[in-house]
Amino acid sequence: MHNLNIVLVEPQIPQNTGNISRTCAVTGARLHLVRPLGFEVSDKHLKRAGLDYWDKLDITYYDNLEDFFMKNRDGHFFYFTTKGLHVHSEAEYPDNSFLVFGREDKGLPEELLHDNPENCVRIPMRNELRSLNLSNSVAIAVYEVLRQWDYPDLSREGKLTKYEW
């Protein structure tokens, strides 16, 4: 059993968190939300984006970043940032990896990035543009890790509803 963890530090946009929740549910990744959140968890936009997968989601809440790190000392942390020194697909993600993403408008605290330069990764993109959407970035990251792990516990084949292959 592989453990993949997605960490959102102070997410601000409920639709992004809802989309990320759905990605976590369909891939088996655990979701960690670090407060303060820019929305209420009961927000209709959050629920709409996650659709009917809320009961399939493994989610943990933390009061702040310090609380998160105190409760997750044994993980392998990768900080996804436009300021990263390494390409995300060149990193090797061991079991119990934590993919950490910052808030949509500010990213992760620079002190955290400065103190962990070897674990700061970047999804390549054009320099003149600010960043990818948070939920898209999480999806790219999750599927890179799962690709490296050979997609454990995930179905590789679909089936038609009206026909046989």
Coil, helix or strand at residue 19: helix
What H or E segment, with its residue span, contains residue 34? strand 30-34
Angstrom distance (rounded) from CA 120 to CA 19 = 23
Q: Is 131 annotated as a binding residue?
A: yes
Judge contact between 79 and 100, C-beta under 8 A. yes
Q: Contacts from 60-67 at CB under 8 Å and sequence distance 24+?
A: 60/30, 60/31, 60/32, 60/33, 61/32, 61/33, 61/34, 61/35, 62/32, 62/33, 62/34, 62/35, 63/35, 64/34, 64/35, 65/9, 65/34, 65/109, 65/112, 67/34
Tokens of 47: 């629920």
**Residues comprising the binding site for S-adenosyl-L-methionine?**
102, 123, 131
Q: Which parts are annotated binding residues?
A: 102, 123, 131
